Amino acid sequence: MKIKRYIANDAQEAMVKVKAELGTDAVILHSRKIKRPGFFGFFKRPLFEIVAAIEEDEGNNKRKIAYNNEPKPKTDNEHDKFKALQNQLDNMQGLIINFMKKDEKLKENKEDSIYNKYFNIFIENDVDDHIAYKILNIAKKQINFTHENEDAIRKTLKLIMKEYFGNPNPILQREGERKTFIFVGPTGVGKTTTLAKLAAKMSIVDTKKIGLITSDTYRIAAIEQLRTYSEILGVELKVIYEPNELNEALRLFKNKDVILIDTAGRNHKIEDQLKEAKEIISLIENPEIFLVMSATTTYKDVKSIINSYGFLDQFKLIFTKLDESTTLGNILNTKIITGKEIAYFTTGQIVPDDIEIASPDRIVNSIVGE
Ligand SMILES: Nc1nc2c(ncn2[C@@H]2O[C@H](COP(=O)(O)OP(=O)(O)OP(=O)(O)O)[C@@H](O)[C@H]2O)c(=O)[nH]1
Ligand SMILES: [Mg+2]
Protein backbone atom coordinates (compact mmCIF):
# COMPACT_ATOMS: atom_id res chain seq x y z
CA MET A 1 0.00 0.00 0.00
CA LYS A 2 1.20 3.47 -0.83
CA ILE A 3 0.23 6.26 1.54
CA LYS A 4 0.62 9.93 0.66
CA ARG A 5 -0.15 13.24 2.28
CA TYR A 6 -1.52 16.13 0.21
CA ILE A 7 -1.83 19.74 1.27
CA ALA A 8 -3.90 22.27 -0.68
CA ASN A 9 -5.82 25.47 -0.20
CA ASP A 10 -9.15 23.70 0.13
CA ALA A 11 -10.82 20.27 0.01
CA GLN A 12 -11.52 20.39 -3.73
CA GLU A 13 -7.96 21.27 -4.63
CA ALA A 14 -6.64 18.51 -2.36
CA MET A 15 -8.97 15.96 -3.98
CA VAL A 16 -7.82 16.96 -7.46
CA LYS A 17 -4.25 16.30 -6.34
CA VAL A 18 -5.19 12.89 -4.94
CA LYS A 19 -7.08 11.95 -8.10
CA ALA A 20 -4.28 13.10 -10.34
CA GLU A 21 -1.60 11.16 -8.52
CA LEU A 22 -3.23 8.12 -6.94
CA GLY A 23 -6.23 7.72 -9.18
CA THR A 24 -9.80 6.74 -8.57
CA ASP A 25 -9.13 3.77 -6.31
CA ALA A 26 -7.38 5.89 -3.73
CA VAL A 27 -8.83 5.66 -0.25
CA ILE A 28 -8.96 8.73 1.96
CA LEU A 29 -7.53 7.77 5.33
CA HIS A 30 -7.80 11.10 7.01
CA SER A 31 -8.58 14.73 6.32
CA ARG A 32 -8.37 17.92 8.37
CA LYS A 33 -7.86 21.65 8.27
CA ILE A 34 -4.40 22.74 9.33
CA LYS A 35 -2.89 26.05 10.36
CA ARG A 36 -0.66 27.75 7.81
CA PRO A 37 2.97 27.82 8.90
CA GLY A 38 4.51 30.88 10.54
CA PHE A 39 3.15 33.34 13.07
CA PHE A 40 0.89 35.14 10.61
CA GLY A 41 -0.43 31.80 9.37
CA PHE A 42 -2.57 31.75 12.46
CA PHE A 43 -4.65 34.62 11.12
CA LYS A 44 -5.05 33.25 7.56
CA ARG A 45 -7.49 30.72 6.11
CA PRO A 46 -6.32 27.23 7.07
CA LEU A 47 -4.87 24.76 4.58
CA PHE A 48 -6.47 21.43 3.87
CA GLU A 49 -4.66 18.15 4.42
CA ILE A 50 -5.67 14.78 3.02
CA VAL A 51 -3.85 11.52 3.66
CA ALA A 52 -4.74 9.03 0.92
CA ALA A 53 -3.69 5.46 0.22
CA ILE A 54 -3.67 3.20 -2.82
CA GLU A 55 -3.27 -0.59 -3.01
CA GLU A 56 -0.35 -1.51 -5.24
CA ASP A 57 -0.57 -4.51 -7.64
CA GLU A 58 1.82 -7.44 -7.51
CA GLY A 59 4.28 -5.86 -9.86
CA ASN A 60 4.50 -3.08 -7.30
CA ASN A 61 2.90 -0.71 -9.77
CA LYS A 62 0.05 1.58 -8.90
CA ARG A 63 -3.35 0.59 -10.17
CA LYS A 64 -4.38 2.32 -13.33
CA ILE A 65 -5.14 5.89 -12.60
CA ALA A 66 -7.52 8.25 -14.27
CA TYR A 67 -5.52 11.44 -14.32
CA ASN A 68 -1.90 11.00 -15.16
CA ASN A 69 0.49 11.60 -17.95
CA GLU A 70 -0.69 8.58 -19.96
CA PRO A 71 -2.37 9.26 -23.27
CA LYS A 72 -6.09 10.01 -22.98
CA PRO A 73 -8.55 7.19 -23.92
CA LYS A 74 -9.33 7.18 -27.64
CA THR A 75 -12.17 4.74 -28.43
CA ASP A 76 -15.84 5.38 -27.62
CA ASN A 77 -15.80 2.44 -25.29
CA GLU A 78 -12.77 3.72 -23.50
CA HIS A 79 -14.28 7.18 -23.49
CA ASP A 80 -17.46 5.82 -21.79
CA LYS A 81 -15.36 4.02 -19.21
CA PHE A 82 -13.43 7.18 -18.58
CA LYS A 83 -16.67 9.14 -18.18
CA ALA A 84 -18.03 6.52 -15.74
CA LEU A 85 -14.84 6.69 -13.72
CA GLN A 86 -15.01 10.47 -13.72
CA ASN A 87 -18.60 10.31 -12.38
CA GLN A 88 -17.57 7.85 -9.72
CA LEU A 89 -14.78 10.14 -8.71
CA ASP A 90 -17.10 13.13 -8.53
CA ASN A 91 -19.50 11.13 -6.36
CA MET A 92 -16.67 10.07 -4.13
CA GLN A 93 -15.51 13.62 -3.76
CA GLY A 94 -19.04 14.68 -2.88
CA LEU A 95 -19.27 11.90 -0.30
CA ILE A 96 -15.97 12.86 1.28
CA ILE A 97 -16.88 16.52 1.47
CA ASN A 98 -20.25 15.61 3.05
CA PHE A 99 -18.54 13.31 5.47
CA MET A 100 -16.14 16.05 6.46
CA LYS A 101 -18.99 18.50 6.92
CA LYS A 102 -20.83 15.95 9.07
CA ASP A 103 -17.67 15.39 11.08
CA GLU A 104 -17.39 19.13 11.74
CA LYS A 105 -21.08 19.35 12.57
CA LEU A 106 -20.73 16.47 15.01
CA LYS A 107 -17.85 18.26 16.68
CA GLU A 108 -19.87 21.48 16.85
CA ASN A 109 -22.85 19.61 18.33
CA LYS A 110 -20.64 17.98 20.90
CA GLU A 111 -19.28 21.39 21.83
CA ASP A 112 -22.80 22.77 21.86
CA SER A 113 -24.08 19.97 24.03
CA ILE A 114 -21.65 20.65 26.86
CA TYR A 115 -22.13 24.42 26.45
CA ASN A 116 -25.90 23.95 26.53
CA LYS A 117 -25.67 21.63 29.50
CA TYR A 118 -23.99 24.33 31.59
CA PHE A 119 -26.17 27.09 30.17
CA ASN A 120 -29.21 25.12 31.33
CA ILE A 121 -27.66 24.41 34.74
CA PHE A 122 -27.04 28.17 35.12
CA ILE A 123 -30.60 29.04 34.12
CA GLU A 124 -32.04 26.39 36.45
CA ASN A 125 -30.04 28.04 39.22
CA ASP A 126 -31.56 31.43 38.35
CA VAL A 127 -28.46 32.99 36.83
CA ASP A 128 -29.66 35.70 34.44
CA ASP A 129 -29.35 34.43 30.84
CA HIS A 130 -27.12 37.35 29.74
CA ILE A 131 -24.79 36.68 32.64
CA ALA A 132 -24.82 32.93 31.89
CA TYR A 133 -23.82 33.60 28.24
CA LYS A 134 -21.12 35.99 29.33
CA ILE A 135 -19.52 33.54 31.74
CA LEU A 136 -19.77 30.61 29.33
CA ASN A 137 -18.30 32.62 26.47
CA ILE A 138 -15.35 33.73 28.59
CA ALA A 139 -14.80 30.08 29.56
CA LYS A 140 -15.09 28.95 25.92
CA LYS A 141 -12.18 31.19 25.00
CA GLN A 142 -10.07 29.54 27.68
CA ILE A 143 -10.91 25.87 27.26
CA ASN A 144 -12.27 23.40 24.69
CA PHE A 145 -15.87 22.56 25.47
CA THR A 146 -15.63 18.78 25.11
CA HIS A 147 -16.97 16.08 27.40
CA GLU A 148 -13.45 14.91 28.21
CA ASN A 149 -12.75 18.40 29.57
CA GLU A 150 -15.85 18.60 31.74
CA ASP A 151 -14.01 18.72 35.08
CA ALA A 152 -11.74 21.48 33.81
CA ILE A 153 -14.73 23.34 32.30
CA ARG A 154 -16.50 23.30 35.67
CA LYS A 155 -13.36 24.54 37.40
CA THR A 156 -12.96 27.32 34.82
CA LEU A 157 -16.59 28.40 35.21
CA LYS A 158 -16.21 28.50 38.97
CA LEU A 159 -13.02 30.53 38.73
CA ILE A 160 -14.66 33.08 36.41
CA MET A 161 -17.61 33.43 38.77
CA LYS A 162 -15.31 33.75 41.77
CA GLU A 163 -13.46 36.48 39.92
CA TYR A 164 -16.77 38.35 39.59
CA PHE A 165 -17.51 37.83 43.29
CA GLY A 166 -14.21 39.13 44.56
CA ASN A 167 -13.53 38.70 48.25
CA PRO A 168 -16.22 38.99 50.90
CA ASN A 169 -16.04 42.14 52.96
CA PRO A 170 -17.34 41.64 56.48
CA ILE A 171 -17.17 44.17 59.31
CA LEU A 172 -13.54 44.95 59.96
CA GLN A 173 -12.44 47.45 62.49
CA ARG A 174 -9.16 49.05 63.14
CA GLU A 175 -8.21 49.34 66.80
CA GLY A 176 -9.77 52.36 68.45
CA GLU A 177 -11.96 53.15 65.45
CA ARG A 178 -15.64 53.72 66.17
CA LYS A 179 -17.88 52.48 63.47
CA THR A 180 -21.55 53.03 62.83
CA PHE A 181 -23.38 50.43 60.78
CA ILE A 182 -26.88 50.91 59.46
CA PHE A 183 -29.15 48.17 58.12
CA VAL A 184 -31.64 49.03 55.40
CA GLY A 185 -33.76 46.95 53.06
CA PRO A 186 -37.23 45.70 52.20
CA THR A 187 -39.71 44.46 54.82
CA GLY A 188 -39.20 41.14 56.51
CA VAL A 189 -35.89 40.18 54.91
CA GLY A 190 -34.18 39.69 58.28
CA LYS A 191 -32.55 43.05 59.05
CA THR A 192 -33.25 42.96 62.80
CA THR A 193 -32.30 39.29 63.16
CA THR A 194 -29.05 39.81 61.24
CA LEU A 195 -28.19 42.87 63.33
CA ALA A 196 -28.82 40.83 66.49
CA LYS A 197 -26.57 38.01 65.20
CA LEU A 198 -23.74 40.47 64.52
CA ALA A 199 -24.27 42.27 67.84
CA ALA A 200 -24.06 38.94 69.65
CA LYS A 201 -20.88 37.86 67.85
CA MET A 202 -19.17 41.19 68.31
CA SER A 203 -20.08 41.56 71.96
CA ILE A 204 -19.48 37.94 73.02
CA VAL A 205 -16.64 36.80 70.73
CA ASP A 206 -14.87 40.09 70.02
CA THR A 207 -15.79 41.66 73.40
CA LYS A 208 -16.68 44.93 71.73
CA LYS A 209 -18.78 47.58 73.43
CA ILE A 210 -21.94 47.67 71.34
CA GLY A 211 -24.73 50.24 71.16
CA LEU A 212 -28.00 49.47 69.40
CA ILE A 213 -30.31 52.09 67.92
CA THR A 214 -33.63 51.46 66.28
CA SER A 215 -35.72 53.87 64.27
CA ASP A 216 -38.35 51.20 63.63
CA THR A 217 -41.16 52.54 65.73
CA TYR A 218 -43.94 51.60 63.35
CA ARG A 219 -44.71 48.39 65.17
CA ILE A 220 -44.53 47.84 68.94
CA ALA A 221 -43.38 44.30 68.17
CA ALA A 222 -40.38 45.65 66.27
CA ILE A 223 -39.13 47.60 69.31
CA GLU A 224 -39.84 44.64 71.58
CA GLN A 225 -37.94 42.32 69.24
CA LEU A 226 -34.75 44.37 69.48
CA ARG A 227 -35.25 45.12 73.18
CA THR A 228 -35.36 41.37 73.86
CA TYR A 229 -32.07 40.84 72.03
CA SER A 230 -30.47 43.81 73.78
CA GLU A 231 -31.48 42.45 77.20
CA ILE A 232 -30.22 38.94 76.44
CA LEU A 233 -26.93 40.29 75.16
CA GLY A 234 -26.65 42.95 77.84
CA VAL A 235 -26.17 45.74 75.30
CA GLU A 236 -27.78 49.17 75.45
CA LEU A 237 -30.65 50.10 73.13
CA LYS A 238 -31.89 53.56 72.19
CA VAL A 239 -35.18 54.03 70.37
CA ILE A 240 -35.50 57.08 68.14
CA TYR A 241 -38.92 58.33 67.09
CA GLU A 242 -37.73 61.15 64.82
CA PRO A 243 -34.58 61.32 62.71
CA ASN A 244 -33.51 64.45 64.63
CA GLU A 245 -33.19 62.32 67.81
CA LEU A 246 -30.38 60.38 66.20
CA ASN A 247 -27.63 62.86 67.06
CA GLU A 248 -28.47 62.63 70.74
CA ALA A 249 -28.42 58.80 70.62
CA LEU A 250 -25.05 58.82 68.83
CA ARG A 251 -23.71 61.25 71.43
CA LEU A 252 -24.82 58.96 74.26
CA PHE A 253 -23.02 56.08 72.57
CA LYS A 254 -19.79 57.97 72.04
CA ASN A 255 -17.87 55.43 74.15
CA LYS A 256 -19.05 52.41 72.22
CA ASP A 257 -16.78 50.55 69.79
CA VAL A 258 -19.60 49.72 67.45
CA ILE A 259 -23.05 51.23 66.89
CA LEU A 260 -25.63 49.19 64.99
CA ILE A 261 -28.71 51.01 63.68
CA ASP A 262 -31.85 49.13 62.69
CA THR A 263 -34.37 50.73 60.36
CA ALA A 264 -37.95 49.85 59.56
CA GLY A 265 -38.40 47.62 56.54
CA ARG A 266 -39.95 49.73 53.86
CA ASN A 267 -41.80 49.07 50.68
CA HIS A 268 -39.10 49.96 48.19
CA LYS A 269 -41.71 50.83 45.58
CA ILE A 270 -43.04 53.71 47.67
CA GLU A 271 -40.69 56.66 47.36
CA ASP A 272 -41.91 58.35 50.59
CA GLN A 273 -41.12 55.30 52.66
CA LEU A 274 -37.47 55.47 51.70
CA LYS A 275 -37.16 59.12 52.72
CA GLU A 276 -36.61 58.33 56.38
CA ALA A 277 -33.74 55.91 55.71
CA LYS A 278 -32.19 58.62 53.48
CA GLU A 279 -32.54 61.21 56.23
CA ILE A 280 -31.02 58.99 58.93
CA ILE A 281 -28.09 58.05 56.71
CA SER A 282 -27.44 61.71 55.92
CA LEU A 283 -27.11 62.43 59.67
CA ILE A 284 -24.37 59.86 60.30
CA GLU A 285 -20.76 60.68 59.75
CA ASN A 286 -19.12 58.08 57.55
CA PRO A 287 -21.67 55.30 58.06
CA GLU A 288 -21.25 51.81 56.71
CA ILE A 289 -24.50 50.80 55.08
CA PHE A 290 -25.73 47.24 54.70
CA LEU A 291 -28.45 46.68 52.15
CA VAL A 292 -30.08 43.49 53.37
CA MET A 293 -31.79 41.30 50.81
CA SER A 294 -33.28 37.86 50.91
CA ALA A 295 -31.85 35.13 48.68
CA THR A 296 -35.46 34.13 47.97
CA THR A 297 -36.22 37.43 46.17
CA THR A 298 -36.82 37.11 42.41
CA TYR A 299 -34.33 38.76 40.05
CA LYS A 300 -37.03 41.14 38.84
CA ASP A 301 -37.60 42.31 42.42
CA VAL A 302 -33.86 42.45 43.10
CA LYS A 303 -33.49 44.88 40.18
CA SER A 304 -36.38 46.97 41.45
CA ILE A 305 -34.92 47.07 44.99
CA ILE A 306 -31.46 48.04 43.73
CA ASN A 307 -33.05 50.74 41.65
CA SER A 308 -34.97 52.15 44.63
CA TYR A 309 -31.85 52.26 46.78
CA GLY A 310 -29.95 53.95 43.97
CA PHE A 311 -29.62 57.03 46.22
CA LEU A 312 -27.00 55.15 48.28
CA ASP A 313 -23.47 55.91 47.13
CA GLN A 314 -21.73 53.21 49.05
CA PHE A 315 -23.20 50.07 50.51
CA LYS A 316 -22.42 46.45 51.10
CA LEU A 317 -24.79 43.57 50.57
CA ILE A 318 -26.04 41.02 53.06
CA PHE A 319 -28.05 38.08 51.77
CA THR A 320 -30.38 36.36 54.19
CA LYS A 321 -32.42 33.16 54.09
CA LEU A 322 -29.99 31.12 51.98
CA ASP A 323 -31.48 28.14 53.81
CA GLU A 324 -34.88 28.89 52.30
CA SER A 325 -33.75 29.48 48.74
CA THR A 326 -33.50 26.53 46.36
CA THR A 327 -31.23 28.44 43.98
CA LEU A 328 -28.46 30.97 44.57
CA GLY A 329 -27.89 32.39 41.07
CA ASN A 330 -29.63 35.59 42.04
CA ILE A 331 -26.80 36.42 44.43
CA LEU A 332 -24.37 36.29 41.51
CA ASN A 333 -26.73 38.44 39.39
CA THR A 334 -26.99 41.04 42.16
CA LYS A 335 -23.25 41.09 42.72
CA ILE A 336 -22.67 41.68 39.00
CA ILE A 337 -25.32 44.38 38.50
CA THR A 338 -24.37 46.34 41.62
CA GLY A 339 -20.63 45.71 41.67
CA LYS A 340 -20.95 45.96 45.49
CA GLU A 341 -19.15 43.81 47.98
CA ILE A 342 -21.03 41.10 49.81
CA ALA A 343 -20.43 40.95 53.54
CA TYR A 344 -22.51 38.14 55.02
CA PHE A 345 -24.88 35.31 54.29
CA THR A 346 -27.43 34.24 56.84
CA THR A 347 -28.66 30.69 56.87
CA GLY A 348 -31.42 30.38 59.46
CA GLN A 349 -33.32 31.97 62.32
CA ILE A 350 -30.97 31.10 65.14
CA VAL A 351 -29.24 34.05 66.81
CA PRO A 352 -26.25 34.21 66.71
CA ASP A 353 -25.23 30.98 64.94
CA ASP A 354 -26.88 31.29 61.54
CA ILE A 355 -24.59 33.84 59.95
CA GLU A 356 -21.35 33.46 58.00
CA ILE A 357 -18.88 35.58 56.06
CA ALA A 358 -20.09 35.56 52.45
CA SER A 359 -18.01 32.85 50.83
CA PRO A 360 -18.15 32.86 47.01
CA ASP A 361 -17.46 29.09 47.05
CA ARG A 362 -20.89 28.38 48.49
CA ILE A 363 -22.55 30.23 45.60
CA VAL A 364 -20.38 29.08 42.69
CA ASN A 365 -20.51 25.42 43.78
CA SER A 366 -24.25 25.59 43.98
CA ILE A 367 -24.51 27.33 40.56
CA VAL A 368 -22.55 24.59 38.75
CA GLY A 369 -24.74 22.00 40.45
CA GLU A 370 -22.31 20.71 43.08
N1 LIG B 1 -35.07 30.89 57.39
C2 LIG B 1 -34.52 32.04 57.73
N3 LIG B 1 -35.28 32.96 58.37
C4 LIG B 1 -34.71 34.13 58.70
C5 LIG B 1 -33.35 34.43 58.41
N6 LIG B 1 -33.09 35.67 58.86
C7 LIG B 1 -34.25 36.12 59.42
N8 LIG B 1 -35.23 35.20 59.33
C9 LIG B 1 -36.60 35.27 59.78
O10 LIG B 1 -37.30 36.22 58.99
C11 LIG B 1 -38.32 36.83 59.75
C12 LIG B 1 -38.18 38.34 59.66
O13 LIG B 1 -36.96 38.70 60.27
P14 LIG B 1 -36.69 40.16 60.81
O15 LIG B 1 -35.31 40.20 61.32
O16 LIG B 1 -37.77 40.62 61.73
O17 LIG B 1 -36.81 40.94 59.46
P18 LIG B 1 -36.74 42.52 59.24
O19 LIG B 1 -36.11 42.77 57.93
O20 LIG B 1 -36.17 43.18 60.41
O21 LIG B 1 -38.31 42.81 59.13
P22 LIG B 1 -38.98 44.29 59.20
O23 LIG B 1 -38.32 45.03 60.30
O24 LIG B 1 -40.42 43.99 59.48
O25 LIG B 1 -38.81 44.89 57.88
C26 LIG B 1 -38.16 36.30 61.16
O27 LIG B 1 -39.07 35.25 61.36
C28 LIG B 1 -36.73 35.77 61.19
O29 LIG B 1 -36.55 34.74 62.13
C30 LIG B 1 -32.58 33.44 57.73
O31 LIG B 1 -31.40 33.59 57.43
N32 LIG B 1 -33.22 32.26 57.42
MG1 LIG C 1 -36.89 44.66 61.65
Instruction: Give tens-digit pLDDT for 205-228.
Output: 889 999 999 998 877 888 899 999
Point out the ligand nearest to the CA of residue 344.
1
Residues 6+ apart with CB under 8 A from 294: 186, 188, 189, 190, 319, 320, 321, 324, 325
- Spatial separation of the C-alpha atoms in residues 18 and 49, rounded to whole Å: 11
Residue nearest to atom 1 of ligand 1 (CA): 348
Determine the average pLDDT of the residues in 90-105. 57
Point out the ligand nearest to the CA of residue 323.
1
Determine the average pLDDT of the residues in 80-85. 68
Residue nearest to atom 14 of ligand 1 (CA): 190
- The reported pLDDT for the residue numbered 137 is 94
Residues with CB under 6 A from ligand 1: 187-193, 216, 222, 264-265, 320-321, 323-324, 346-349, 354
Determine the average pLDDT of the residues in 218-244. 90
- Spatial separation of the C-alpha atoms in residues 318 and 197, rounded to whole Å: 13
Tell me, in angstroms, the distance from the centre of ligand 2 to residue 182's CA. 12
- The reported pLDDT for the residue numbered 95 is 56
- The reported pLDDT for the residue numbered 111 is 58
pLDDT classification of 20: cutoffs 50, 70, 90: confident
- Return residues with CB closer than 5 A to ligand 2 (ion): 191-192
Indicate whether 163 pLDDT > 70.
yes
CB atoms within 10 A of CB 282: 11
Q: Which atom of ligand 1 is nearest to the CA of 264?
A: 23
The mean predicted confidence, pLDDT, of the chain is 84
Point out the ligand nearest to the CA of residue 353.
1
